[in-house]
Amino acid sequence: MSISGALNMIFEEIVVGPLSVNCFVLGCERTREGIVVDPGGDVELIERAVKEHGLKIGAIINTHGHFDHVGGNREALAAFGSRLLIHQNDAPMLGRVAEVARMYGMQGENSPDSDEFLTDGMEVAFGDCSLKVLHTPGHTQGGCCLYLERENRIITGDTLFADSIGRTDLPGGSHEQLLESIRSKLFTLPDTVAAYPGHGPDTTIGHEKRCNPYF
């Protein structure tokens, strides 16, 4: 778990679920409005962080629809009374969480339907803070990254990892499409932008442009 503040934003990263997903709790320091990104499990840890910061969670955002990132949706939505956002292309995955988890020898709970669809360029505001949705298909057809421009951060889901990229051998994956998404949407950002993947350590856009072996 890591906690930090940039400008007027609360930014907390919590590792959750059986596949160690990086979940993010974001909040406005002034209004205490917040969002949760990818509640993949261990919702009690997410609830604890939300309570510690005194946040009112208005939205839960899924960067994509794989079971390890959406497995805690139902419990988190019940706990926070918030709305759910995911890209339309991945919305059908929400009702197959339990089935897909069983294929990997794990347990999962189907998610409620989304309340709103993420779209490329969409702005999601919470208090004085906001993020911009970047649609980056390739890992899944609905994969999205969440750009916090004023804080010089981006949450990359399973699109881009430290020295790696998301796998593309699952249904809906495309290696060529993923590389193009990263080149056109992420590598056009400033090198100093800190990147927070869906699994594993943080990195920077500049490091990945220089050192990622896939490029």
Low-confidence ranges of the chain (pLDDT < 70): 1-7
Question: What pLDDT digit, counting tens, does each position of 158-203 carry?
Answer: 999 999 999 999 999 999 999 999 999 999 999 999 999 999 999 9
pTM value is 0.95
64: CATH: 3.60.15.10
What pLDDT does residue 4 have?
A: 46
What pLDDT does residue 108 have?
A: 86
Number of domains present in the structure of the chain: 1
DSSP string, the chain: -EEEEETTEEEEEEEETTTTEEEEEEEETTT-EEEEE---S-HHHHHHHHHHHT-EEEEEE-SS--HHHHTTHHHHHHHH--EEEEEGGGGGGGGGHHHHHHHTT----PPPPPSEEE-TT-EEEETTEEEEEEE-TTSSTT-EEEEEGGGTEEEEETTEETTEE----STT--HHHHHHHIIIIITTS-TT-EEEESSS--EEHHHHHHH-TT-
Structure tokens, 28: 């406005």
What pLDDT does residue 39 have?
A: 98
Q: Which domain holds residue 96?
A: 2-211
